[in-house]
Structure 1
Amino acid sequence: MLSEVLLVSAPGKVILHGEHAVVHGKVALAVALNLRTFLRLQPHSNGKVCLNLPNIGVKRAWDVAELQLQDTSFLEQGDATAPAAEQVEKLKEVAGITQDGANPEGLAVLAFLYLYLSICRKQRALPSLDITVWSQLPTGASLGSSAAYSACMAAALLTACEEIPNPQKDGVSASRWAVEDLELINKWAFQGEKIIHGNPSGVDNAVSTWGGVLRFQQGKISFLERPPLLKILLTNTKVPRSTKTLVASVRSRLLKFPEIVTPLLTSINAISLECERTLGEMAVAPAPEHYLVLEELIDMNQHHLNALGVGHASLDQLCRVTMAHGLHSKLTGGGGGGCGITLLRPDLEQPEVEAVKQALNDCGFDCLETSIGVPGISVHSAAFLDPSVRQALDGL
């Protein structure tokens, strides 16, 4: 059993290309976003397992001996099977959740307890742990916050129970697990996602685990070798929307105008493939011309998404503001508001970037500068952790 403090982080995700078309069998490209979820696991001998989630105001503790007495045979299930409704209800009883548990707070607690009991049940005695999770990712913004949470939780518990080795080495700021260990982390992260979302695609947890750039089509996932790191602006329009409703509206439009919408979906697929090809070239020998291609693809895809009916006035405003500064933007995720991304060329001076950010903030949006294509789940040395992250994990 692990005896030292463990610090883990996993990235969020954005969809680069392929929104909505992916629902109809086309290619989507998802990329790891350099907004991360951080987890600190501290072993104890106090007979308690404690969960602290300061972002959503959750602080829970359970008596390990009482959990040990619970019948957890209901956790036995196949890897590809989502927990049945009665299993989730049983888990709520164990968790002491009296409400329906469908809110973000209840689902986060359920996912933790599921992973804790499932992964640690092989131990002679359930471990006493103090776990704090803090995230730079907003919840409900289609940025993979729940997947990053599940990946961090799975990796930390697997390491604590010595199901996988701790890869951290002295004097190294961040270390990653071996491929076979990442596969196990991803499997358990997917189980956590099932608790939270019911029937997820597996894309979000794969991006959080592996990082980089991921290609997804009809359930098949593959990764781009040595993906380039791209700088972007991530803008949250703060306009609420329902992805389920937007997906249904695209399906309705496809049924109503098949000869119009089918070519749009085919064209979006071609955009994803061209972007994948360009990113592959950039991984070998990046050139300024590649950014011109990426910008054109962004513009074309945004127009296609508008034609599918998933645009929004706030996203149009985002595109106008950034285009006035010579930059190119598109929605990411479901559309209808939500978030958008803006590509930043390497030759862009910082004062120009700040001017664009200020203009977007003046629109009432939340805008920040970040990057995509970053590494996946990692274990960190406390000495190298950003002070703001350390303070958040310490609850200061």
Structure 2
Amino acid sequence: MLNKTWVVSAPGKVILHGEHAVVHGKVALAVALNLRTFLRMTLRDDGKVQMQLPNIGTRLCWQTSELRPLLAAFPADRPESQAPSPEQVEKLKAFAGLADGAAGVHSIATVAFLYLYLSIASKGGVLPSMDVLVWSELPTGAGLGSSAAYSVCLAGALLSGCGVIAYPLREGQSLARWTEEELDVINSWAFRGEQVIHGNPSGVDNAVGTWGGALRYQSGKITPLKKVPMLRILLTNTKVPRSTKILVAGVKDKLLKFPAIMEPVLTSIDAISQECEGVLEAMAERPSQEHYPVLEELMDINQHHLNVIGVGHSSLDRVCQVTATHGLHSKLTGAGGGGCAITLLRPDTAPSVVAAAIQDLGTCGFECWETDIGAPGIRAHSPPSLKAEVLKVFSGM
């Protein structure tokens, strides 16, 4: 098995509709964003485990002999459904030399890797030597599921590398998927990684990263949509920091203060999510230009609702205003209060219109990408199928 290499990728995510209303039992639609995280894992024979995360400037290396004593906290017969314990997480933080309460990107990425590596390797009783390189197109801390894409990639590669599931790549096949049963296993372990990082995640982000496409989330139940179209979008990061916790609390306060006003707004957002779900399913069955005006109108209505419940921001208003001058329709995605917005692009939107919108958004100080939603979930790759910029990173490390 030595010198065997695995390459996997997983998408980020955006919320199409249902932000904040989902906290109050309403439907939300989450979709896979075709900005991806890539992971390359190669087995070694020198007793070392090396981890490289060039996006955040992290390079780590341990001897497997250093890691072996940690296995006592990861018994092989431990149920896979059992959440990471505080004791396990604190032990890993102490081993990695992280200060008490350290919560930086470097810290949580390190602890999540160690947790998944030790948990999965403990099933076979052997700690494999390996090089792991992770590179991402996703910005961190922007609400785009970057941590979940990381956890999904780690789970898929480690489970394959340790022989828990089969690696699906066949000779002559550029990329492939695991079976539904294997995807369930990947998703379960990715959720453990998300628990290490976030404590009490919903499970939506790792599910989107695993299965891709779109999924419906309501009251803790996650239901993947059977078939969805790929839609072109502009994704704009306003770079305005926000606190999800504070924004969620603000909506709750408004709901308690003005229930007769706020409850109908949340009910309307719920109806938007369900209407959009029906449109997406219809588009998947029979694509037609006639669906785009409906999607655009739903985005406009929802953006107004999100401003009403108090999660808008002047930067997001600016995105909507700028894109509207180019005949495009936008809404915030995620927590709001800054963060990111999505702009729908019709198939016949001229490249010159897209370029002009991107230029104008850049002039506002925003970062903008043209990409797709409804993207595939975790994939196994052969090197020829990888993007040139990913190959450049991999070959340079």
Normalised by the shorter chain, which TM-score bucket?
over 0.9
* Alignment gaps of 5+ in structure 1: none
Instruction: Single out whichever of 240-249 and 122-131 deviates more from structure 2.
Output: 122-131
The residue that corresponds to 2:5 in the other structure is 5
Shift of the alpha carbon at 1:77? Answer: 5.2
DSSP-derived class of the 2:124 partner? coil
1:150-206 C-alpha deviation (Å, 9 max, x unpaired)? 000000000001111110012222111110000000000000000000000000000
- Rounded to whole Å, the distance in 2 between the matches of 1:2 and 1:269 is 52
- The RMSD of aligned alpha carbons is 1.4
Q: Kindly indicate whether the alpha-carbon contact (under 8 Å) linking 2:6 and 2:41 is maintained by their aligned counterparts in 1.
A: yes
State how 1:8-87 maps to structure 2 within 5 Å.
Answer: 8-74=8-74, 78-87=79-88
Alignment check: 8 A CA contact 1:35 1:137 kept: yes
Three-state SS of the structure 2 residue aligned to 1:177 is coil
The answer to whether the 8 A contact 2:71-2:118 is kept is no
SS at match of 1:336: coil
Structure 2 residue matching 1:199: 3-state secondary structure: coil
CA distance in 2, matches of 1:86, 1:175: 37
Structure 2 CA distance for aligned equivalents of residues 4 and 84 of structure 1: 32
- Matched with 1:313 is 314
- Do the aligned partners of 1:186 and 1:205 also contact (CA within 8 Å) in 2? yes
Give the structure 2 partner of residue 390 of structure 1.
391
User: Secondary structure in 2 aligned to 1:279?
Assistant: helix
Q: 2:286 corresponds to which residue?
A: 285
Distance 1:209 1:86 in 2: 28
What are the within-5 Å matches in structure 2 for residues 284-363 of structure 1?
284-363=285-364
The one-letter code sitting in structure 2 at the alignment partner of 1:253 is K
Contact conserved, 1:52 with 1:58, CA < 8 A, in 2?
A: yes
Deviations, residues 209-242 of structure 1 (Å, cap 9, x unaligned): 0000010001101111221000000000111110
Contact 1:29 1:214 in 2 (8 A): yes
Verify the 8 A CA contact 1:72 1:117 in the aligned structure 2.
Answer: no
Q: Counterparts of 1:228-243 in structure 2 under 5 Å?
A: 228-243=229-244
| Cα separation, 2, equivalents of 1:157 and 1:26 | 36
Unpaired runs of 5+ in structure 2?
Answer: none
CA contact (8 A) 1:6 1:156 kept: yes
Q: Which amino acid aligns with 1:16?
A: L
1:104 is displaced (CA, Å) by: 1.2
Aligned to 2:150: 149
Whether the 8 Å CA contact 1:2–1:162 is kept in 2: the answer is no
Which deviates more from structure 2 when the two are superposed, residues 318-327 or residues 60-69? 60-69
Q: Which amino acid aligns with 1:45?
A: D
Question: 1:325-376 CA deviation, whole Å, 9 max, x = no partner?
Answer: 1110000000001000000001111111111111111111111100000100
Distance 1:260 1:65 in 2: 62
The verdict on how the C-alpha distance between 1:57 and 1:69 changes in structure 2, with shifts beyond 3 A counting, is same
Q: Matches of 1:83 and 1:213 in 2, distance apart?
A: 28
1:99-154: per-residue Cα shift (whole Å, max 9, x none)? 53311111100000000000011224210000000000000000000000000000
Q: Partner letter of residue 58 of structure 2?
A: V
* Residue 395 of structure 1, CA deviation: 3.8
Q: 1:57 to 1:99 in 2, by over 3 A?
A: farther
CA 170–71 in structure 1, closer or farther in 2 if over 3 Å, else same: closer
How many Å apart are 1:3 and its aligned residue? Answer: 4.8
Single out whichever of 26-35 and 76-85 deviates more from structure 2. Answer: 76-85
Q: How does 1:214-293 map to 2 (within 5 A)?
A: 214-293=215-294
CA contact (8 A) 1:214 1:223 kept: yes
Instruction: Name which of structure 1's ranges 60-69 and 295-304 shifts more when overlaid on structure 2.
Output: 60-69
Alpha-carbon distance in 1 for matches of 2:49, 2:56: 19
Residue range with higher mean Cα deviation, 75-84 or 295-304: 75-84
Q: Is the 8 A contact 1:82 1:199 kept in 2?
A: no
Question: Retained in 2: the 8 A contact 1:250–1:309?
Answer: yes
Change (3 A) 1:263 1:77: farther
The CA distance in 2 between the partners of 1:51 and 1:356, in whole Å, is 39
List per-residue Cα deviations over 1:249-290 (Å, max 9, x = no partner).
000000000000000000000000000000010010011110
Q: Which moved more, 1:59-68 or 1:5-14?
A: 59-68
Q: TM-score, normalised by structure 1?
A: 0.97
Distance in 1, matches of 2:102 and 2:115, equals 13
SS at match of 1:167: coil
3-state DSSP of counterpart to 2:290: helix
- Shift of residue 67, structure 1, vs aligned partner: 1.4
**Distance of 1:316 and 1:113 partners within structure 2:** 42
Amino acid in structure 2 at the alignment position of 1:246? L
Q: CA deviation at 1:2?
A: 6.8
Query: CA 1:259–1:351 in 2, change beyond 3 Å: closer, same or farther?
Result: same
Contact 1:233 1:341 in 2 (8 A): yes
Q: Which whole-Å CA distance do the structure 2 matches of 1:185 and 1:54 have between them?
A: 24
User: 1:159-174 maps to which residues of 2 (within 5 A)?
Assistant: 159-174=160-175
More deviation, 76-85/10-19: 76-85
TM-score by length of 2: 0.97
